[in-house]
Homo-oligomer: A and B are copies of this chain.
Amino acid sequence: MGCIVQKYGGTSVGSVERIQNVAQRVARTVAAGNRVAVVVSAMGDTTDELMAMAKQITPYPSARELAMLLSTGEQVSIALLAMALQTLGCDAMAFTGSQAGVVTDGVPCNARIAAFNANRVKEALAAGNVAVVAGFQGAAACGEINTLGRGGSDTTAVALAAAIGADSCEIYTDVDGVYTIDPRVVPEARKLVEITYDEMLELASLGANVLHPRSVECAKEHGVIIHVRSSFHEEIGTLVKEDTAMEKGTVIRGIACDEGQVKFAVLGVPDKPGVAARIFSAIGQAGVNVDLIVQSIRREGENDILFTVAGEEYEKVHAVLEPLVQELGARRLQHQRGLAKISVVGAGMIDNTGVAAGMFQALANAGVNIEIISTSEIKISCLISDEGLIAAAQAIHAYFKLHEDVCYPE
């Protein structure tokens, strides 16, 4: 008898009928002889609708009350799903994040899970119930309701799987699994059988929206095997796990694309300690995540600092930088919109030379110019123009033969 955590997102529980479909799927898993704990998100657009009501009152709702408001969304889903399971003859108990034992760190709307005291869930499972747990929420030790921020429900599912020692954690989505690249960009994209945590982390961080990086980190930390699969059919999806023995030798696992970037360039910055820290702490305080950062020497005693942020952050960053550039005595502030980031990811890259060269060659063959290059141990990212993205993606995917099962760089 296996113990399985299943997580269904907002689209999968978007209506009463869909909740009943999810219940049937869970019931089949139970009938196959498994203990099942289910994590669900709020129904469809509920979270957005609640947020809209709050914004109707004030553009800056207090975080404490916002968390209290948004957490009602999952509470509705768990109650309805438990009822639907009971109607199918499955014993089921619904648990809010607080009741399930999700102890959060006290940051109301962007909390992290500090501990998962899953005793009540374990007891419910041992007594033959399906445990239906609210994703995206928990309670601080003082009893205050917290929500987990983006990717919260995936993280709840992985943390729950770790806490109850589940055999696997199935994340149901509207895609079939993790692909070598977004199939809408490159139709030859191949579904991966397996992927390592680190590779998935890089892909997730780079804009592949299948799993949130937080949930992957949590799975890596606790050795939870994630099974990303479709909620529309029963086919096997992609396993996210430590060792991908079946595909040993794979150098490049996949390609991530991220459109709508803006590049800022602070030119002619005096070359002295603390300048970069001033720039990026100011941007961080404005609540903006910086993506790629490149610094190069312009001439003796002066640097150019380049970095990218998501396009919608342009105004905030510009407002922060303009006074700062004067204050730091930099020569000029430039920016360029309409850029895309394309990245190749693969744990095998560490032991293989030639991956970077191959990527640049593929881009050159496609006639795509490179604005910025940035690398880590298991990925290479290039900033290119938005218009060149599809050609670049297809060229790189073909160059590394990602449509084939095992692929080496040439």
Whether the pair A61, B76 counts as a contact (CB closer than 8 A) is no
Give the number of times this chain occurs in the complex, counting copies. Answer: 2
Docked complex Cα distance between A56 and B17 (Å):
9
A284 within 8 A of B: no
A125 within 8 A of B: no
Selected from B71, B78, B99, B143, the residue in CB contact (under 8 A) with A99 is: B143
Docked complex Cα distance between A58 and B72 (Å):
21
Whether the pair B58, A86 counts as a contact (CB closer than 8 A) is yes
Instruction: Decide: A68 near B57, CB < 8 A? Known: A62-B82, A62-B83, A83-B62.
Output: no
A406 within 8 A of B: no
Whether the pair B93, A79 counts as a contact (CB closer than 8 A) is no
Selected from B61, B68, B79, the residue in CB contact (under 8 A) with A68 is: B79
Instruction: Decide: A75 near B68, CB < 8 A? Known: A56-B16, A58-B86, A62-B86.
Output: yes
Would you give the shortest CB distance from A101 to chain B, in whole angstroms? 10
Closest residue of chain B to A82, judged by CB?
A: B65
A261 within 8 A of B: no
Docked complex Cα distance between A3 and B62 (Å):
25
A310 within 8 A of B: no
Whether the pair B62, A50 counts as a contact (CB closer than 8 A) is no
Closest residue of chain B to A58, judged by CB?
A: B87
Whether the pair B78, A96 counts as a contact (CB closer than 8 A) is no
Enumerate chain B residues within 8 angstroms of A53, measured Cβ to Cβ: 16, 76, 80
Which A residues are within 8 Å of any B CB, using their own CB?
A: 16, 19-20, 50, 53-54, 56-58, 61-62, 64-66, 68-69, 71-72, 75-76, 78-80, 82-84, 86-87, 93-94, 96, 98-99, 143-145
Please provide the 3 A-B residue pairs with the shortest distance between their CB atoms, ordered closest to farther.
A69-B79, A72-B72, A65-B79
29 cross-chain CB contacts under 8 A: A20-B57, A50-B76, A53-B80, A54-B79, A54-B83, A57-B80, A57-B83, A57-B84, A58-B83, A58-B86, A58-B87, A61-B83, A62-B83, A62-B86, A64-B94, A65-B78, A65-B82, A65-B94, A68-B78, A68-B94, A69-B75, A69-B80, A69-B83, A71-B75, A75-B75, A96-B145, A98-B143, A99-B143, A99-B144
